[in-house]
Amino acid sequence: MDEKQVKKWMTTWVAIGIVIGAIACLTWIGGKKTTPEKIKEISEEVESIPESYRVPNGVGMVEVIYEESDGLIVPGRIYFPLGPTKKYPAVVWSDGWTGKRAAHYGNLKELAEHGYVAIIFKTTEQETYYQGIVKGMAGVWARDMEDAITYLVEESPVKGLVDESKIGVVGHSLGGITASKVAAEDPRVKAAVILSCTDLSKLSDVHIPIQIQTADFDFSGLLTTIENAPSYILANPPKQLIVIQAGTHDFAALPADEFPGWLIERGKPPWQNKISLHYLLAWFDYFLNEEESARDRIITPTEHLSKQWCSKYDLGEGEQRIAGLLVKSKKRVSMVEIKEELGG
């Protein structure tokens, strides 16, 4: 065995050792065997909001660990406004398969900057390729999301900031299937935004405002065709379908080169995340925060909506198309205006 092979062999075993060690540490810290004393200790650590949890633009952030209804101990992260002490609407966010929660932190921070308490959490077996998708499709992730709602409003260190009558859910990919189920089954949820994937079997049972976002090349265009366009048809008003021009399955907050696209996608265009947040915030501002002016943002097209698929809405007064094939609009929001709205 030459020197190069020896180095390769040693590197492989060191990596394996690190993975085993990390799994052992996570099991010891956050597994089912976590003691009540440990939970109490963790709770005391996050009870107050120290200066170190402050992030730019009037936003606070706290890492939490809590117990779910099945006894699992899971981590989460909460972003919240540092403005006046009052009740804020809340958004519970579920990311997708294989668990890239950190890729969505920027989205939650944006929500907090606009006056929302937002939590993202680890779903069951989220980090595994096979068990995660089985648990998600079987509805276990929906229970996880419901547990996150319960924790946020009843036990979290920011529970006093949450308006329990104004709770929204967001889900991306497999998390979108999760959010669809919760939107249909949990009466605490008052509005939903689904990114990419929905649960088609649940859409007709959703009786709260639901916005579905997709893109021209979402899973190379397959999801737009077989999932999201039919989802909009099945959903009850108020509802909206947003299709982003040249966009991909990547609805994370990170740039495309840090979180590449799926299948043959080559990464999302630079406008995708801004447009997604623009309509997501408009939906929640109108249906959760009861801001009448937000209705204009919902119904007005922006630059870079798809020219092949129709973006449209039905707020209970019949369907209106705002962009797409043969659709023309006298008014259109520019990317400059969107960037100003979202703080650059």
Taking only the tens of pLDDT, the chain with its 344 residues reads 444 443 343 344 333 333 333 333 333 333 333 344 544 443 443 344 444 445 667 899 999 999 998 888 999 999 999 988 889 999 999 988 766 788 899 999 999 999 999 999 987 767 676 666 656 565 678 899 999 999 999 999 999 999 999 999 999 988 899 999 999 999 999 999 999 989 899 999 999 999 999 999 887 677 777 778 889 999 999 999 999 999 988 888 776 554 444 444 567 899 999 999 999 999 999 999 999 999 999 999 999 999 989 999 999 999 999 999 889 888 899 999 999 999 86
Answer yes or no: is 79 within a domain: yes
Answer yes or no: is 196 within a domain: yes
Q: Please report the pLDDT score of residue 35 as a whole number.
A: 43
Q: Please report the pLDDT score of residue 39 as a whole number.
A: 43
Q: Please report the pLDDT score of residue 218 as a whole number.
A: 87
Q: Please report the pLDDT score of residue 174 as a whole number.
A: 86
Domain that residue 127 falls in: 52-341
Q: Please report the pLDDT score of residue 4 as a whole number.
A: 45
Answer yes or no: is 26 within a domain: no
Q: Please report the pLDDT score of residue 214 as a whole number.
A: 94
Q: What is the CATH number of the domain that holds 304?
A: 3.40.50.1820
Q: Please report the pLDDT score of residue 31 as a whole number.
A: 34
Answer yes or no: is 115 within a domain: yes
Q: Pick left, alpha or beta for residue 82 (phi over 0 → left; psi -120 to 50 → alpha; otherwise beta).
A: alpha
Q: Please report the pLDDT score of residue 133 as a whole number.
A: 61
Please enumerate in sequence order all residues whose Cβ is within 8 A of that of 10, keeping only pairs 6 or more positions apart, or say none: none
In angstroms, rounded to a whole number, what is the distance separating the alpha carbons of residues 282 and 114? 11
Q: Count structural domains, the chain.
A: 1
**CA–CA distances in Å: residue 340 to residues 56, 97, 162, 258, 335:** 16, 32, 27, 24, 9
Answer yes or no: is 19 within a domain: no
Answer yes or no: is 39 within a domain: no
Six token digits for residue 261: 């696209």
Answer yes or no: is 17 within a domain: no
The distance in angstroms from the start CA to the end CA of the chain is 55
Answer yes or no: is 239 within a domain: yes
Predicted model pTM:
0.81
Please enumerate in sequence order all residues whose Cβ is within 8 A of that of 299, keeping only pairs 6 or more positions apart, or say none: 313, 315, 320, 322
Please enumerate in sequence order all residues whose Cβ is within 8 A of that of 6, keeping only pairs 6 or more positions apart, or say none: none
